[in-house]
């Protein structure tokens, strides 16, 4: 219905940044930045995530693995 007005409907919706940047590319950049910081900072980073308390059953769960490895990422 908008074509008579020369409106491209796909330009009306802003693109999500996670869909603009491929998840694999983001993971590679993220891993490189973390590795450049050194193991001591990576260990501190992981410790901070593990110290986040859980909230509810389905909202915020415990980070049981190292967050720096970013396994099981949800997008």
- Domain ranges in the chain? 39-66
Average pLDDT over residues 55-65: 72
73 pLDDT exceeds 70? no
At 31 the pLDDT is 84
Residue 70 backbone dihedrals phi, psi, to 5 degrees: 35, 50
Contact predicate 53/61, CB 8 Å: no
CB-hemisphere CA count at 13 Å for 40? Answer: 0
At 10, is the pLDDT very low, low, confident or very high (cuts 50, 70, 90)? confident
75 pLDDT exceeds 60? no
| pLDDT above 90 coverage of the chain, percent | 1
At 27 the pLDDT is 78
At 34 the pLDDT is 85
């Amino acid at each position: 219905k908008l074509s008579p007005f020369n409106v491209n409907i796909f330009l009306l919706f802003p693109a999500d940044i996670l869909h603009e940047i491929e998840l694999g590319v983001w993971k590679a950049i993220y891993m490189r930045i973390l590795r450049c910081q050194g193991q001591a900072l990576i260990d501190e980073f992981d410790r901070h995530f593990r110290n986040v308390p859980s909230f509810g059953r389905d909202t915020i769960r415990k980070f049981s693995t190292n967050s720096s490895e970013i396994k099981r990422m949800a997008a």
